Amino acid sequence: MKKIYIIILTLSMSLVSCDQWLEIEPEYTQDAENFFNTEEDFQRAVIGVYDLMQTNYLQIWIGEIASDNSIAGGESVNDTQGLHEIDNMTHGGVNNELRDVMRFNYAGIARANFIFENENKIDFASKERLMAEISFIRAYFYFTLVNYFGDVPLIVDRRISINEVFQSDRTPKIQIFEQIESDLDRAIQVLNWTNPELGRITKGAALALKGKVLLYQQKFSEAAQVFDELISTNQANYALISDMNTMWLAVNQNRSEDVFTIQHSGLQGGDYGCLVCLQGNPAVGFHSIRNYVGPFYADGNSYNLPTQDLYDFFGNDPRRQVTILDLDAFIATQPNPTDISYAVGGGGHTGYYNNKYIKRADERGLPDDDLTSQLNYRAIRFADVLLMAAESFAQSGNDARARTELNKVRQRAGVGDITSSGAQLLEDIYRERRLELSGEGYRFWDLVRTGKAAEAISGFQVGKHELFPIPQVEIDLSGGRWAQNPGY
């Protein structure tokens, strides 16, 4: 019997010792809890934060479609339904595009916070610069969220657990702006005017975004100060590109006018199910002409189509053809117009297309050029800086300086100087913004912050549509603790 006891004992012992065989690690992959051990780890994580900025197609769409500049378009009214609802000011808490805005920006914030959480783990030469870059990007994400949704939960410098979601309230906007400004200050202090690595965030970008953030808060004199620093110091040699007719071509990317530009590549694919996965700019293919067979342009999904109102607004301003493709007029000027064909989408047709972000025959991406385009998104370009500066100076009583900055933009366009002052000057600046910047995703925000949305956008209700609704599903997933924005 003793033998039996020994066997039983041995079996039990072997079990205890076997449990340690269960301690295996995933191989050749890094673990979230054991990352940030080298400079390269930090650099790679920072790429992940930059990546989320490439969701800017939503900014180009919503900023234009919500405004009087364009209609949603597409194959049918069910094609990206959320955009059609925004177009008609009938949007509510169920809207995939608005949900994406919230998800993507918070994904970017979470990625940045994950790095901040580990900021003190090791020291290395480029650390300050990298942290400054992601400070900027986090500020940009929060700025987007606050514009869309107003008060949003402020989470900084660490990841949160699923249970903490149920304790996270919407933080007052003012505190979000404080965080944005402090993040931007960090970027301004640390970053250089230029970075040999094209596409990195620079001091100029940080100054420009800081000025914009102040302007949006109507802190005009502070904004004027920041823009002045940018324009006067200008160690990056920012300047307007002289030929505005070619400035939107791929060959003219990352030039003197690019202050804050989100980079895209035409060399990596993806699919319709995951636009956030793309390195290309999907807005470009989506904007293009449905079933187009003809020269210069290429076929696409007929999204975000400029309105007749915008077309007429230009009058004889030469920027009309820069901004808008009048397709039938273009076809009529071609050698064999009858050989050119295109289709009209069921989601609406105006005859006009976004001529800045559009697929051109020699700028196709690989492998699916409807999704992949190399065209960068100029989030803030120097003309915008000048116009925002003009507005800030005008609002803070310096009309002369305001006219100077405004007329730089007009001179490049080849239109006469503005000589007005006071309220008229401000109006002229607002008009100039539409002439210069239409098709780039700012129009809706300009209308809202200047109080002109109700008169320009049919269906716009004051006190409601300044903010978009918080996606209902997000309210539900927060445990129902967030109140919906007013009016929704």
Partner 1 sequence: MKRILWLILTMGIHFGISAQSGMITGRVVDDSGETLPGVNILKVGTATGTITDLDGNFTIEGKVGDELQFSFIGFQSQTLRVGSNLTLNVTLQSDISSLSEVVVVGYGTATKKELTGAVAQVQGEDVAKMNMPRLDQALQGKISGVNITTNSGAPGGTSNIRIRGLGTFGNNNPLILVDGVIFDAAGLNSLNPNDIETINVLKDGTAGIYGVRAANGVIIIETKKGSLNSKASLEFSAYYGVQETARKLNLLNAREYAILKNEAFAAGGMAPPFNNVNLGTGTDWQNEVFETAPIQEYNLTVTGGSEKTSYSIGGSYFGQQGIVGGPKSNFERYNARINFVTELAPKVKLTSVFLYTHEQASGIAQGGIGSVLFNTINAYPTEPVFVGDRFSYLENVADIINPLAQIENTFNETSVNKIVGKEEISYQINEHFSLNGRAGYNFALVDGKSFSPLAWFGPGKFANSARNANLDPVLVDVGGTLIERGASVFENRDSFLDYNLESFLNYDRRFQDIHRVKGTLGVSYFGNRNLGLNGTAFNIPNNDLAFADISASQAPGGFLNQTGSFQTRQRLVSAFIRGEYELKGKYMFSAILRRDGSTNFGPNNRIGYFPSLSAGWVLSDEDFFGNSSVVDFLKLRASFGVSGNDQIGLFRYRGQMNGLARYPFNDFIINGAAIGATSNPDLKWETTLQTNIGLDFTLWRSIDFTANYFIKDTRDLLFQPAVSALLGSYGPGGSPPVINAGNVSNKGLELEIGYGTQKATGVNFRIDYNATFIRNRVTKVPDGLDFIPGAGFSVGGNIATRFQEGFPIGYFIGFQTDGIFQSQEEIASSPVVQEGARPGDLRFVDANGDGVINFSDDSDRTFIGSPIPDFIMGLNLAMDFKGFDISANVYAAIGQEIIRNYERQQPFANQLAYNVNRWTGPGTTNEIPRLTTGQTRNTVFSDFYVEDGSFVRLRNVQLGYTLPEAITGRIGIRSMRFYVAANNLITLTRYMGFDPDVGSGNPLFAGVDNGIFPQARVIMGGLNFRF
Site residues for partner 1, 110-169, by CB under 8 A, read 110-111, 113-114, 153, 155, 159-160, 162, 165, 168
Under the binding rule (CB under 8 A), the answer on residue 35 touching partner 1 is yes
Instruction: Please report whether residue 14 would count as binding partner 1 according to CB under 8 A.
Output: yes
> Token pair 């202090």 is at which residue?
189
Q: Taking Cα atoms as reference points, which of 208, 240, 196, 40 lies closest to residue 139? A: 208
Of 10-18, 183-191, 294-302, 385-393, which part binds partner 1 (CB under 8 A)? 10-18
User: Which of 174, 239, 249, 277 contacts partner 1 by CB under 8 A?
Assistant: 277
81 counts as binding partner 1 under rule CB under 8 A: yes
- The residue among 424, 266, 305 whose CA lies nearest residue 64 is 305
Cα–Cα distance for residue pair 384/371, rounded to 1 Å: 27
Size of the site for partner 1 (CB under 8 A): 75
For residue 404, what are the contacts with CB-CB under 8 A and spacing of at least 6? 390
Residue that is written with structure tokens 């999904």 in the block:
301
Minimal distance in Å, beta carbon 433 to partner 1?
29
* Of positions 63, 74, 108, 439, contacts partner 1 by CB under 8 A: 108
Q: Which of residues 47-66 bind partner 1 (CB under 8 A)?
A: 47-48, 50-54
**One character per residue 469-488, x = contact with partner 1 (rule: CB under 8 A):** --x-xx-xxx----------
Nearer to partner 1, 277 or 329 (CB): 277
**Binding-site member from 2, 3, 251, 316 for partner 1 (CB under 8 A):** 3
Taking CB under 8 A as the rule, does residue 251 contact partner 1? no
Residues of this chain, 331-350, that bind partner 1 according to CB under 8 A:
none
For the CB of residue 451, give the shortest distance to partner 1 in the complex, in Å: 30
CA distance 388 to 379: 13
Instruction: Give the nearer residue to partner 1 in terms of CB position, either 43 or 334.
Output: 43
Contact with partner 1 (CB under 8 A): which of 37, 38, 78, 245?
Answer: 78
- Residue 347 CA to residue 250 CA, distance in Å, equals 28
CA distances from 453 to 149, 357, 361, 403 (A): 17, 24, 36, 25
The whole-angstrom separation of Cα 210 and Cα 185 is: 8
Contact 383, 261 (CB under 8 A): no
Q: How far is the CB of 340 from partner 1 (least distance, A)?
A: 19
Name the residue nearer to partner 1 (CB basis): 35 or 311: 35
DSSP 323: H
Smallest Cα–Cα separation from 303: which of 81, 68, 66, 71? 71
Contact pick of 123, 197, 312, 362 for partner 1 (by CB under 8 A): 197
Nearest CB to partner 1, comparing residues 12 and 189? 12
By CB under 8 A, residue 239 contacts partner 1: no
User: Is residue 423 involved in binding partner 1 (CB under 8 A)?
Assistant: no
Scanning residues 360 to 419, which ones bind partner 1 (CB under 8 A)?
366
Shortest Å distance, C-beta 242 to partner 1: 23
Q: Which of 39, 92, 96, 103 binds partner 1 (CB under 8 A)?
A: 103
Burial (CB count <10 Å: 0-12, 13-18, 19+), residue 483 = exposed
Give buried/exposed letters for 260-287 (b at 16+ CB in 10 A, else e): bbbbbbbeebbeeeebbebbbbbbbbbb
Nearest to 305 by CA among 288, 317, 281: 288
C-alpha span between 445 and 429 (Å, rounded): 15
Nearer to partner 1, 376 or 395 (CB): 376
Q: In angstroms, rounded to a whole number, what is the distance separating the alpha carbons of residues 70 and 313?
A: 13
Residue 416 beta carbon to partner 1: minimum distance, rounded to whole angstroms: 38
Q: Is the CB of 276 or the CB of 454 nearer to partner 1?
A: 276
Residues whose CB falls within 8 Å of the CB of residue 110, separated by 6 or more in sequence, listed in order: 155, 159
Question: Nearest-CA neighbor of 373 among 260, 261, 283?
Answer: 283
Per CB under 8 A, the list member of 67, 147, 279, 323 interacting with partner 1 is 279
Nearer to partner 1, 94 or 413 (CB): 94
